Amino acid sequence: MTSSFRTVVLKYALVLLACSIVIYPLLWMVTMAFKPVAEWTTGNGLTWFPKNPTLQNFEYIFFGHTAGLAVSLDRTVIGPLTASLVTSICGTVLAVVAGTLSSYAVVRHRTLPSLAISVLQLRLFPPLAVMIPVMVMWAFIGAIDTWWGLSLIYGIVTLPFAFWLMKTFFEEIPVEIEEAARVSGSSHWRVFYRITLPIVKPGLATCVLFVFIINWSDYLLALLLTQKNWVTLPVFMSTLNSAMGEMYGMKAALGLIAAIPPVVLGLLIQKHLVRGLTFGALKQ
Amino acid sequence: MTDVTANIVSAAPAGSTTRRGYWSGVARDGRKLGLWFVAPTLVLLLFIVIFPMGMQLYLSATWWTPLDGTPWYLAFESFNGGENYLRLVTDPGLWSALWRTVLIMAVAVPVQFMLGLGLAFLFIDQFPGRKIFYSILLTPMMIVPAVVGMMFYLLFQGTGPINNTFGLPASFSWLADVNRAMISVIIADVWQWTPLMFLILLAGMLGVPQDQLLAARLLGGSNWQNFRKIILPRMKPVIAIALVLRSVECFKIFDLIYIMTKGGPGVQTETISLYLYKQTFADLDWSYVAAIGLTILLVLSLAAARGLAYNAKKRA
């Protein structure tokens, strides 16, 4: 398309405007994490970039105390960070293993084709509409505030993503490859393990990262199913308050820590984001 | 990013006619392996979906709350038939929460769609820096929703940068104001999810065959005409996916609002999810929440079934 100088300028102006709207809130949080108390609010004038950059906020959340703050933290960020990592990873393993195996069975062996839609339905309902029995059950079997209780629920809520993402990857493998292996005498399990799995390895890696991002981003389930020991990062962040008032800087530091992994991983699998988020309905 | 295929999810299993002979005839053990492979998923569904669903139906027909001191399986002692269901029909709190949820959906989703469509239009052609701008524009949707809530909570403080940038006094309140609280929440949702619309719609636009566009241009169609007559009709399925996906997620909205306003001031930003949360923890009215949840489940399932049937009919 031949485009005049004016349209090019207009286009860049619009793109830059959109980017600055995206960056505006992010910048405030990121710089807030490195600001001393005096610069948290605009009381003494607005500071976008900290005049006296400090690591105090991080020191406080990691060690529970910092110079100038009388109140010390009885729980540092280490616990929630571990909890977030452990439950997200375990939930991801569960979802990806169950999702990969069952989608392979549905795609290649036509086992229970209706499973696909049943699994998809899980994403339709607001979690709070179905959480009462889960909470009752979790309390009954002693799964509240444990790593496995939260991992189990993460495994089931992200199963639809894993299932549908892997389904599209399996569908892309020509069935002839597997047939050839079958004809040469391999069992079905060997065909899956030795032929199919290596072929979908990149897809599987994408799926793992994608599901991990979704689990890591959870707030509500952790809020409902944990109390103290296995509180995750976002819940910890939202409950961080002290008698001295709002801890903007510490919250921003926690937000920054929670935001980095999904952004980095998300950019890594950018190519497959559309496929994952639309349950394979749209490929890029 | 040129080879884009859109195939709408249909109720029918994919490719059910091809290769049936081979996989069911030669390979007996294939079926056995298939059953082993779906077993973990079935166990999870049974344990965390089917069984709880039965329990929810059971509890919803009683007065049981965790405060009773009786275990849940003895809930039948306070069996009340359908009283919880009668109560929800005339519960003003529930209906106004539903109304607010629909309001947020009705404003946020179309705004996200229009902005996403506009942005996607800007990104059809290659231009220097496209990749970097594209990555920047995608970041909001990758940030943990709870963190986005916290970010906008900071932004909308009286002493925050928004008031400062627009020259408003620190007493100008956003999150505690009856009208502006809702606007703030919608702004935050639009900020986070416009990128998703952009991503999906751009993928759809790039899937429009380039030769058709080229031909239209050669025949003298203006950009606007090309867009309306060629791009838009071909994008219908993609647009449907984007709108359905966002509407479903928007209906569930919780994290953002809970962190920004906790549903307040008063109940001004209380959506369905926040209402259920409040009933669950403030009032501990668990059997009632179970009844509401089951009703929502039923209504959404019926809507989804109708949607799928409609889609299948249109494709047939």
Domain span at residue A188?
A: 78-244+270-277
- What SS3 string covers B80-141? CCCHHHHHHHCCHHHHHHHHHHHHHHHHHHHHHHHHHHHHHHHCCCCCCCHHHHHHHHHHHH
Instruction: Round to whole Å and give the CA distance between A237 and A252.
Output: 9
Band the pLDDT of B28: cuts 50, 70, 90.
low
Task: Report the Cα–Cα distance between both ends of chain B, in Å, rounded.
Answer: 29
What pLDDT score does A265 carry? 93
Task: Say if residue B210's pLDDT is above 70.
Answer: yes
What pLDDT score does A80 carry? 92
Q: Which residue among B3, B19, B144 sits closest to A258, beta carbon to beta carbon?
A: B144
CATH, domain range B91-284: 1.10.3720.10
Instruction: Round to whole Å and give the CA distance between A182 and A44.
Output: 74
Q: Which of A6-10, A41-45, B5-9, B192-196 has the lowest mean pLDDT?
A: B5-9
Number of domains in chain A: 1
Residue B6: helix, strand or coil by DSSP? strand
Q: Which residue among A11, A97, A132 sits closest to B286, beta carbon to beta carbon?
A: A132
The model's pTM = 0.89
Band the pLDDT of B219: cuts 50, 70, 90.
confident
Minimal Cα distance from A18: which residue of B? B137
What pLDDT score does B114 carry? 95
Q: What is the mean pLDDT of residues A47-72?
A: 82
Task: Say if residue B181's pLDDT is above 90.
Answer: yes
Residue A242: helix, strand or coil by DSSP? strand
Selection from B244, B254, B304, B246 nearest residue B276 by Cα: B254
pLDDT averaged over every residue in chain A:
88
Choice between B194 and A1, residue whose per-residue pLDDT is larger: B194
Instruction: Round to whole Å and give the CA distance between A138 and B55.
Output: 13
Q: What is the mean pLDDT of residues A266-271?
A: 88
- Whether B145 has its CB under 8 Å from any CB of chain A: the answer is yes
Choice between B131 and B316, residue whose per-residue pLDDT is larger: B131
What pLDDT score does B10 carry? 37
CB atoms within 10 A of CB A201: 11
What pLDDT score does A57 carry? 86
Q: What is the mean pLDDT of residues A238-264?
A: 86
ipTM: 0.91
CB contact under 8 A, A129 and B276: yes
CB contact under 8 A, A110 and B217: no
pLDDT averaged over every residue in chain B:
84
- Whether B59 has its CB under 8 Å from any CB of chain A: the answer is yes
Task: Say if residue A266's pLDDT is above 80.
Answer: yes
Minimal Cα distance from A122: which residue of B? B49
Task: Say if residue A100's pLDDT is above 90.
Answer: yes
Proportion of chain B above pLDDT 70, given as a percent: 90
What pLDDT score does A284 carry? 66
Q: What is the mean pLDDT of residues A266-279?
A: 87
Band the pLDDT of A276: cuts 50, 70, 90.
confident
- Whether A129 has its CB under 8 Å from any CB of chain B: the answer is yes
Chain B, 24-53: which have a CB under 8 Å from a chain A CB? 24, 26-27, 29-31, 33-38, 40-42, 44-45, 48-49, 51-53
CB contact under 8 A, A110 and B35: no
* Contact (Cβ atoms closer than 8 angstroms) between residue B297 and residue A147: no
Task: Say if residue A188's pLDDT is above 70.
Answer: yes
* Contact (Cβ atoms closer than 8 angstroms) between residue B176 and residue B264: yes
What pLDDT score does B19 carry? 47
- Whether A172 has its CB under 8 Å from any CB of chain B: the answer is no
Band the pLDDT of B206: cuts 50, 70, 90.
confident
What pLDDT score does B71 carry? 83
What pLDDT score does A189 carry? 86
Task: Say if residue B13's pLDDT is above 60.
Answer: no
Q: Which residues of B touch A98 (CB under 8 A)?
A: 40-41, 44
Residue A265: helix, strand or coil by DSSP? helix
Selection from B263, B180, B235 nearest residue B8 by Cα: B235
**C-alpha dist (Å) from residue A136 to A37, A203, A220, B100:** 43, 37, 16, 29
Length of chain B: 316
Q: Which residues of B touch A272 (CB under 8 A)?
A: none
- Whether A214 has its CB under 8 Å from any CB of chain B: the answer is no
Band the pLDDT of A238: cuts 50, 70, 90.
confident
Chain A, 53-112: which have a CB under 8 Å from a chain B CB? 94, 97-99, 101-102, 104-112
Task: Say if residue B15's pLDDT is above 70.
Answer: no
Minimal Cα distance from B46: which residue of A? A156
What contacts B114, CB < 8 A, 6 or more positions away?
none
CB contact under 8 A, B150 and A284: no
**pLDDT tens, A71-83?**
777 788 899 999 9
What pLDDT score does B18 carry? 45
Most confident of A224-238, B18-32, B74-88: A224-238
CB contact under 8 A, B37 and A109: yes
Q: Where are the domains of chain B?
A: 91-284
| One-letter identity of residue B110 | P
Q: Choosing among A15, A61, A128, A171, which should be mutated to test the B contact, i.e. which has the most B CBs within 10 A? A: A128
Q: Which residue among B41, B293, B301 sits closest to A98, beta carbon to beta carbon?
A: B41
Proportion of chain A above pLDDT 90, given as a percent: 48
Q: Is A197 within the bounds of a domain?
A: yes
**pLDDT tens, B55-112?**
999 999 988 888 877 888 888 888 888 888 988 899 999 999 999 999 999 999 999 9
- Whether A128 has its CB under 8 Å from any CB of chain B: the answer is yes
Minimal Cα distance from B35: which residue of A? A111
What pLDDT score does A18 carry? 95
Task: Say if residue A207's pLDDT is above 60.
Answer: yes
Q: Which residues of A touch B300 (CB under 8 A)?
A: 124-125
**pLDDT tens, B247-294?**
999 999 999 999 999 887 888 999 999 999 999 988 888 999 999 999
Q: Which residues of A touch B227 (CB under 8 A)?
A: none
Handedness of CA A232, A238, A242, A248 (dihedral sign): positive
Task: Say if residue A250's pLDDT is above 50.
Answer: yes
**pLDDT tens, B31-60?**
788 889 999 999 999 888 889 999 999 999
Chain A, 219-278: which have a CB under 8 Å from a chain B CB? 219-220, 234-235, 237-238, 248, 251-252, 255, 258-259, 262-263, 266-267, 270-271, 273-274, 277-278
Choice between A15 and A48, residue whose per-residue pLDDT is larger: A15
Q: Which residues of A touch B163 (CB under 8 A)?
A: 42
Q: Which residue among A25, A132, A182 sits closest to B293, beta carbon to beta carbon?
A: A132
What pLDDT score does A82 carry? 94
What pLDDT score does A84 carry? 95
Task: Say if residue B296's pLDDT is above 70.
Answer: yes
Find the CATH number of the domain harbouring A163. 1.10.3720.10
Chain B nearest-CA distance from A274, in A, is 6
Q: What is the mean pLDDT of residues B159-164?
A: 84
Handedness of CA B105, B108, B111, B116 (dihedral sign): negative
